[in-house]
Amino acid sequence: MPGRIQLKPIFDAETHEQHARDGRYFMESDYLAGVSYGFYLPCDSVQIASRKSYAVRDANGGLYAIRDIQTDEYLSPHDNEDDPDNVRVMAVTADLYSLAEKANMNAVPEKPTVEIMANDQCILIDQAIFNFAVTETQNLPEPSPTSTQEVPPPSLRITVAALLEAATSERKNHTQTSLIESILERNKGIRGLSESSLQKHFSDSNAELTRLRKTAKI
């Protein structure tokens, strides 16, 4: 059950305002403001102790970071890159259909329209909570029209590197199970490598290769 922390600027008001014009918020924790069971993406983000963290807003523009009660760490966009097994998504059904439609288009996607959504997953607080401030212009990165190459997630790159190392080791006849065991043995403690993530990457890769082979024979 994540908690929610009220934030305050670490700089003086003038410096904070200068950064805020560019959508940058350098904050520190103030007090525990309530409980959050989830939040919608995209949402705002802040810098807390040199770490980029998710943030939600109240009706007056106040910033709140989401902190995991079990680990006492602020939830960050980088968490999903480090360990895909920890991804938890709260989605609106209509958005899923919209994403599926865009995923099947070859054209470069248009700049996304940001929808300000009230969050009913935040409780024990007097004010309504939103994914962005209702009175500010959101600063989302514009899609690059010149870049269409798919960038694999960090965990997949780690998997490929570890797989190559294990496959070219002293053992020549590996099974998928023995490869996973070898990878985990050689890379203990590396985030992004787990038995479940390796099985998923292998399964997805095998399915895609099978599909492409069938297409190539047509």
List pLDDT tens digits, range 4-24: 788 999 999 989 988 888 888
Question: pTM here?
Answer: 0.48
Q: By the 8 A CB rule, do 108 and 145 touch?
A: yes
One-letter identity of residue 10: I
Q: What is the mean pLDDT of residues 32-59?
A: 85
Per-residue pLDDT at 195 exceeds 50: yes
Q: How far apart are CA 101 and CA 87, in angstroms?
A: 23
- Given a cut of 50, is residue 143 above it in pLDDT? no
Backbone angles phi, psi at 196, to 5 degrees: -70, -40
Task: Name the pLDDT band for 38 (thresholds 50, 70, 90).
Answer: confident
Give the residue, 155 or 185, on which the prediction is more confident.
185
Whether the upstream peptide bond of residue 42 has omega within 30° of 0, thus cis, is yes
Token pair listed for 160: 């490929």
Highest mean pLDDT among 48-62, 143-157, 162-176: 48-62
The CA-atom distances, in angstroms, between 154 and each of 80, 84, 157 are 10, 10, 5
- Rounded to an integer, the average pLDDT of 124-128 is 73
Mean pLDDT of the chain: 75
Q: What percent of the chain lies above the pLDDT cut of 70?
A: 70
